[in-house]
Amino acid sequence: MKKISLIAILSFVCFSTNAQTKDSISMKRIFNETLLNGNAYQWLYDLTENIGPRLAGSKEAGTAVEWAKQKMIEAGADSVYLEPVMVPHWVRGPKENAYIIEAGGNKQTVQVIALGNSVATPKDGITANIIEVQTFDELEKFGRAMVEGKIVFFNHPFDERFVNTFEAYGEAVQYRWKGPSEAARYGAVGSIVRSMTNAIDDYPHTGSMRYNDSLPKIPCIAISTVGANLLSKIYKANKDVKFFMQTNCEMKDSVLSYNVIGEIRGTEKPKEYVVVGGHLDSWDNCKGAHDDGAGIVQSIQIIKTLKALNMQPKRTIRIIAFMNEENGLRGGRTYADNVGTKNEKHVAAIESDAGGFLPLGFGLNMPKDKKAKIKKWAPLFLNYGIYNFSGEGDGADISALEKHNIPLIGLHVNSQRYFDYHHAASDTIDKVNKRELLLGSAAMGSLAFLLAEYGLN
Amino acid sequence: MKKISLIAILSFVCFSTNAQTKDSISMKRIFNETLLNGNAYQWLYDLTENIGPRLAGSKEAGTAVEWAKQKMIEAGADSVYLEPVMVPHWVRGPKENAYIIEAGGNKQTVQVIALGNSVATPKDGITANIIEVQTFDELEKFGRAMVEGKIVFFNHPFDERFVNTFEAYGEAVQYRWKGPSEAARYGAVGSIVRSMTNAIDDYPHTGSMRYNDSLPKIPCIAISTVGANLLSKIYKANKDVKFFMQTNCEMKDSVLSYNVIGEIRGTEKPKEYVVVGGHLDSWDNCKGAHDDGAGIVQSIQIIKTLKALNMQPKRTIRIIAFMNEENGLRGGRTYADNVGTKNEKHVAAIESDAGGFLPLGFGLNMPKDKKAKIKKWAPLFLNYGIYNFSGEGDGADISALEKHNIPLIGLHVNSQRYFDYHHAASDTIDKVNKRELLLGSAAMGSLAFLLAEYGLN
């Protein structure tokens, strides 16, 4: 028995070494091809500069759908098709207008932007006194007596001590998401939120908010951090400060749009899928280079890379450009619903939606045994600086797949610069480094290929 | 015996756990203070925008010396002093001029810059035929018959397959460093080198070269990658292409300059030193934000951080702004000579000279047993994304300390963007992210503090 065991162990070691060597060569090919001949950066230039902002429901989002389909065909996908999705159609209307009115009457214009899904102010705007709070606790302490008839200013800065800026965002974003309704609970007539960013600059950052249907819907805006600091300074010097805000946004009827899907068909198990994607829509005020044009072009690049290398995987790799992540998640939800209806078998889903920055790891949202299988590949990834498999974050578009118990994976990248540009007009192609973008594609392509070769069972 | 061993082991484990906890708290304090109250970015803005380019020997380098001294005093150093260094004084003179002359006579201006330490062309410039090579082997094959009287164009692009761009630089930079003399060996009258960068843009990147004293000294320039691609295209279409180059540089007599040194005095072993530094000089064509203003402000920040926290280390931490890294390394060599003369005991020396990008690890150049001691701290650093202790690179300024067997350490950062800006006019403050810069300072400060607390013996 002992002898047999030893032989069994030795064969296993040899097999596993050979597999690792073979996988290591596959990854080297993917990285080399991507870095040498990758088109992702040029595609991103085209998407962001020639199509530009592409909020779900807009004409430009429709153009982007056609664009993504065309790029997947050019990249060599075995099949490309559209998946219909009904999406909300929120429109900003003419640019917002806002200023501070100091106690003496002096007016100071500040840079603001309506939050996504917000209702508009009355046509001529709102003028009201300000009350500044940093937390919901403070708001509650002030209560209706102090808040009624005022505009609540949520001035909650990012906590710079978080090394991962997504943690600072996670802590602060509640004031954007549910701040307006919490302010309305105490009779506020409007809500201002400090932009969700580490940067101190004059770009206002928009983003989604959700009304609590049991409370009045009040108009809400984000103010640039420069504007927030100014408003706070004036307010602290003399609390009798008024604010004027005028927004023109409107929620229209839902419209038909699409997820764009391109496949590399599996040679052995074509009915088992590995999903890789990002979201095609962006906010209407920004070109969405990092959020999430990057994820889209990185994903499409995987088709081009594997086809150029003639590396047809055993299972099907399905590249998805999701629609409507920003203000509804309808693309991701519709895809998940259809997976359920069609009872499709998914090995895993990977998303890149944290910017096209240097890849550092993968967040794994799945049971321990499956995590362990992925972590066995960690030494292969370490050669490319991808060291961190300890996180759990995945991606908003793929999150609805959790209900089918599909293992979810998020590309984890350098987070330091992301919120400087997130949902702001500064999210442009010049903030993207070509090699960082390509490395992210190669990292996801490698993991997708390994998952498609071996599965996770 | 067994029992005693077990107790001994347990005590060791307890001690080591307590020490790790204490060290973990020290590091948390350093990172928090740096991220919340760090001045490094504002200092870098001042150094690069208000003083600007500061080549050793220039008036601006002198201003930078006074500036660094002042900042170290403001940061709260226990003592600040200047160490005299004789430095070369190379001056560019009026801007270079160059164009391609196509076979038909058509002229196309290209962006070029004389290499540091180069001799000038004759006053009216040189016009000669081009011969393009990618390697020294090709040059040798062409030989004197093909090369004599011509300008050699070394068109060796970065190999994009290297994940660490410093490896691509390491392979290509020989054509800048010794290309001119190798060209002169076969009778060339001038030398052009493709700029050392991953970027395709119109900035020429300068850098040091060294003449072989046994060969004629010919003028040498770098050409932007856009210019290099154009020249190569024209040359390949018709080899009868001429090139005009005119440079005005000159090596003058050496002048007196200084390393700037600030110390946090050790409480228990003040005569044992941990060095942390970067270089204060930059090339004359660029403001040197990443190279190496970043290393300077990160190092001075350590003084401010430890003083703000009242964390006086057991051994002395010596912050050094070295002079003349770019074209002579005289600052680093002088410091090393003085260490020898004074027989000073150094625990280790750390340098930041790879740009103010996201810190990822430390290169360790020292014997295995000392490496092992540093690697025991790796789990503490992993909390801050600093995972890589496998490299060996240190830093040019501290490299001369190797002769005294001093352990050398280089801050290892994200390398993807560095050569886009290196030695070019594009190396400006807007390419630096404040948080990445501060994280690098906190990483070096933490390691310096641990080294100063525990030594390496």
pLDDT tens column, B57-96: 999 999 999 999 999 999 999 999 999 999 999 999 999 9
- pLDDT digits 0-9 by tens, B3-48: 444 444 444 444 456 777 999 999 999 999 999 999 999 999 999 9
Radius of gyration of chain B (CA): 24
Pair (B358, B243) in one structural domain: no
Q: Residue A323 in contact with residue A65, Cβ under 8 Å?
A: yes
| C-alpha–C-alpha distance, residues B148 and B246, integer Å | 19
Pair (A347, A209) in one structural domain: no
| C-alpha–C-alpha distance, residues B191 and A257, integer Å | 58
Listed in sequence order, the residues at least 6 apart from A204 whose beta carbon sits closer than 8 Å to its beta carbon are A111, A112, A113, A195, A221, A222, A223, A224, A227, A424
pLDDT given at position B9 = 43
| C-alpha–C-alpha distance, residues B110 and B226, integer Å | 8
Would you call A439 and B163 a contact, using CB atoms and an 8 Å cutoff?
yes
By three-state DSSP, how is residue B157 classified?
coil
Contact status of A436 with chain B (Cβ, < 8 Å): yes
Which DSSP symbol is given to B388?
B
B254-B259-B262 Cα angle (round to 5): 165
ipTM, interface predicted TM-score of the complex: 0.95
Contact status of A32 with chain B (Cβ, < 8 Å): yes
- pLDDT tier for residue B241 given thresholds of 50, 70 and 90: very high
pLDDT given at position B17 = 65
Could you tell me the two tokens for B258? Answer: 């200084």
- pLDDT digits 0-9 by tens, B339-362: 999 999 999 999 999 999 999 999
Would you call B163 and A358 a contact, using CB atoms and an 8 Å cutoff?
no
- Whether residue B13 is contained in a domain is answered as no
Nearest neighbour of A358 by CB, restricted to B35, B414, B435: B414
Domain boundary among B249, B282, B312: B249
| C-alpha–C-alpha distance, residues A53 and A282, integer Å | 6
Would you call B161 and A358 a contact, using CB atoms and an 8 Å cutoff?
no
Pair (B102, B130) in one structural domain: yes
Would you call B163 and A417 a contact, using CB atoms and an 8 Å cutoff?
no
Looking at the DSSP bridge assignments, the partners of residue B126 are B245
pLDDT given at position B16 = 58
Supply the pTM of this predicted model. 0.95
Which chain B residues are closer than 8 Å to A360 by Cβ? 385
- Whether residue B17 is contained in a domain is answered as no
Listed in sequence order, the residues at least 6 apart from A218 whose beta carbon sits closer than 8 Å to its beta carbon are A119, A180, A183, A184, A188, A189, A190, A191
Pair (B272, B227) in one structural domain: no
- Whether residue B375 is contained in a domain is answered as yes
In this structure, what CATH number is given to the domain that contains residue A190? 3.50.30.30
Which chain B residues are closer than 8 Å to A387 by Cβ? 387-388
Q: Residue B431 in contact with residue B290, Cβ under 8 Å?
A: yes
Give residue B87's identity as a one-letter amino acid code.
Answer: V
pLDDT given at position B393 = 86
Listed in sequence order, the residues at least 6 apart from B22 whose beta carbon sits closer than 8 Å to its beta carbon are none
Nearest neighbour of A433 by CB, restricted to B383, B416, B435: B416
Pair (B68, B188) in one structural domain: no
- Which residue in B4, B242, B211, B200 sits closest to B107, CA to CA? B242
Pair (A139, A233) in one structural domain: yes
Pair (A315, A439) in one structural domain: yes
| C-alpha–C-alpha distance, residues B119 and B47, integer Å | 29
- Whether residue A6 is contained in a domain is answered as no
Q: Among all chains, which residue has been given the structure tokens 């060291």?
A: A387
Contact status of B24 with chain A (Cβ, < 8 Å): no
Pair (B140, B270) in one structural domain: no
CA distance B312 to chain A (A): 22
Q: What is the pLDDT along chain A (457 residues), one digit of tens a residue?
A: 334 444 444 444 444 567 779 999 999 999 999 999 999 999 999 999 999 999 999 999 999 999 999 999 999 999 999 999 999 999 999 999 999 999 999 999 999 999 999 999 999 999 999 999 999 999 999 999 999 999 999 999 999 999 999 999 999 999 999 999 999 999 999 999 999 999 999 999 999 999 999 999 999 999 999 999 999 999 999 999 999 999 999 999 999 999 999 999 999 999 999 999 999 999 999 999 999 999 999 999 999 999 999 999 999 999 999 999 999 999 999 999 999 999 999 999 999 999 999 999 999 999 999 999 999 999 999 999 999 999 988 999 999 999 999 999 999 999 999 999 999 999 999 999 999 999 999 999 999 999 999 999 9
Q: How many domains does chain B have?
A: 2
Pair (B260, B236) in one structural domain: no
| C-alpha–C-alpha distance, residues B411 and B398, integer Å | 12
pLDDT given at position B334 = 98
| C-alpha–C-alpha distance, residues A365 and B221, integer Å | 53
Which chain A residues are closer than 8 Å to B198 by Cβ? 434-435
State phi, psi for B29 to the nearest 5 degrees: -65, -45
- Whether residue B38 is contained in a domain is answered as yes
Domain boundary among B249, B282, B303: B249
- Whether residue B354 is contained in a domain is answered as yes
CA distance A199 to chain B (A): 9
| C-alpha–C-alpha distance, residues A222 and A204, integer Å | 6
| C-alpha–C-alpha distance, residues A299 and A278, integer Å | 7
Radius of gyration of chain A (CA): 24
Domain boundary among B249, B269, B291: B249
| C-alpha–C-alpha distance, residues A360 and A365, integer Å | 17
Nearest neighbour of B387 by CB, restricted to A160, A198, A387: A387
- Residue A105, judged by CB atoms within 10 A of its CB (0-12, 13-18, 19+), counts as exposed
Which chain B residues are closer than 8 Å to A165 by Cβ? 435
- Whether residue B224 has pLDDT greater than 50: yes
Residue to mutate among B41, B434, B446, with most A CBs inside 10 A, is B434
In this structure, what CATH number is given to the domain that contains residue A404? 3.40.630.10
Nearest neighbour of A358 by CB, restricted to B358, B384, B434: B358
Q: Among all chains, which residue has been given the structure tokens 């800006």?
A: B421
Q: What is the mean pLDDT of residues B277-304?
A: 98
Nearest neighbour of A160 by CB, restricted to B35, B161, B383: B35
SS3 sequence, chain A?
A: CHHHHHHHHHHHHHHHHHHHHHHHHHHHHHHHHHHHHCCHHHHHHHHHHHHCCCCCCCHHHHHHHHHHHHHHHHHCCCEEEEEEEEEEEEECCCCCEEEEECCCCCEEECCEEECECCCCCCCCCEEEEEEEECCHHHHHHHHHHHHCCCEEEECCCCCCCCCCHHHHHHHHCHHHHCHHHHHHHCCCCEEEEECCCCCCCCCCCCCECCCCCCCCCCCEEEECHHHHHHHHHHHHHCCCCEEEEECCCEEEEEEEEEEEEEEECCCCEEEEEEEEEEECCCCCCCCCHHHHHHHHHHHHHHHHHHHHCCCCCCEEEEEEEECCCCCCCHHHHHHHHHHHHHCCEEEEEEECCCCCCCEEEEEEECCHHHHHHHHCCHHHHHCCCCCECCCCCCCCCCHHHHHHCCCEEEEEECCCCHHHHCCCCCCCHHHCCHHHHHHHHHHHHHHHHHHHHHCCC
Would you call A161 and B36 a contact, using CB atoms and an 8 Å cutoff?
yes
Pair (A387, A421) in one structural domain: yes
Pair (B261, B241) in one structural domain: no
Count of A–B CB contacts within 8 Å? 60
Nearest neighbour of A416 by CB, restricted to B160, B388, B433: B433
Contact status of B436 with chain A (Cβ, < 8 Å): yes
Q: Residue B336 in contact with residue B403, Cβ under 8 Å?
A: yes
Pair (A429, A346) in one structural domain: yes
CA distance B158 to chain A (A): 11
- Whether residue A411 is contained in a domain is answered as yes
Full domain range(s) for residue A306: 29-90+253-454
- Whether residue B230 is contained in a domain is answered as yes
